Amino acid sequence: MDAKVIFARFFRTSSGKEPVREWLKNQTDENKKSIGGDIAAIEWRWPTGYPLVRKLDNNLWEVRTNLTDGVSRVFFTVWENYMVLLHGIIKKSNKTPKEDFELAKKRRNIVLQGGLENE
């Protein structure tokens, strides 16, 4: 029987906030379903590549979901058997904003140095 290869988890800040979970809550129901479906597909088929997943940096990837109002990007890293969701944006241009990329890298480094807290 097929099983998940990795399990999606939300990055948690030191204050207990889960930025990607909060970001998703603000999306339309249609967008939540599309983004969630793509994340689930990765859980079952990891590793997978373009066009669903694009590698951005060492241990940093993005889930790419086409939406009616733009393109969603959920940045993630892989730690042990977890796909840790670090940051989410809706892109309206071709280039990922530098501040979003830097924030995703910062959170990736926190995970890779300390693992998943509170798990």
CATH number, domain at 91? 3.30.2310.20
- Is 118 within a domain? no
What does the pLDDT read at residue 118? 42
User: What is this structure's pTM?
Assistant: 0.93
What does the pLDDT read at residue 24? 97
Dmax over CA atoms of the chain, in Å, equals 42
- Which residue range forms the structural domain that includes residue 107? 7-112
**CA–CA separation, 99 vs 41, rounded Å?**
28
- Is 119 within a domain? no
Low-confidence ranges of the chain (pLDDT < 50): 1, 118-119
What does the pLDDT read at residue 117? 60
| DSSP output for 67-105 | ETTEEEEEEEEEETTEEEEEEEEEE-SSSPPHHHHHHHH
Total domains in the fold of the chain: 1
